[in-house]
């Protein structure tokens, strides 16, 4: 079963995302941006979904840090609001492998 790590600074959103994706064919774990290193030390996921939220500064720092580190490749998917072209471009330039637009 594929493992997915969800990174979100909003605990309510994190719980909701984990519950929705856990119903699918994924083993889902979640953490706040500050806890990414500890989560990765516990096990390597197949992909990381980073929710950018209303204040994307810290999540973008997480993306840049993960991409600049010497870790084994893990696909990073940034998630933001639909129509926010600036955030999408910033996430992709910052190292995200893809961008998922949502409402």
Residue 47 predicted with pLDDT over 80: yes
Residue 56 predicted with pLDDT over 90: no
pLDDT band at 5, cuts 50/70/90? very high
Predicted confidence at residue 80, as pLDDT, reads 86
pTM for the model stands at 0.89
Predicted confidence at residue 74, as pLDDT, reads 92
Determine whether 98 is exposed, middle or buried from the number of CB atoms within 10 Å of its CB (0-12, 13-18, 19+).
middle
Rounded CA gap, 39 and 54, in Å?
Answer: 23
DSSP 85: H
Contact 88, 99 (CB under 8 A): yes
SS3 for 53? Answer: coil
């Amino acid at each position: 079963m594929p493992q997915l790590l969800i990174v979100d600074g909003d605990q309510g959103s994190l719980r909701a995302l984990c519950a929705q994706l856990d119903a699918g064919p994924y083993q889902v774990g979640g953490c706040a941006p500050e806890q990414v290193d500890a989560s990765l030390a516990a096990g390597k996921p197949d992909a990381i979904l980073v929710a950018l939220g209303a204040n994307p500064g810290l999540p973008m720092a997480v993306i840049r840090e993960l991409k600049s580190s010497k870790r084994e490749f893990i696909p990073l998917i940034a998630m933001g609001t639909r129509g926010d072209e600036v955030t999408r471009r910033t996430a992709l330039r910052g190292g995200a492998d893809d961008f998922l637009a949502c409402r």
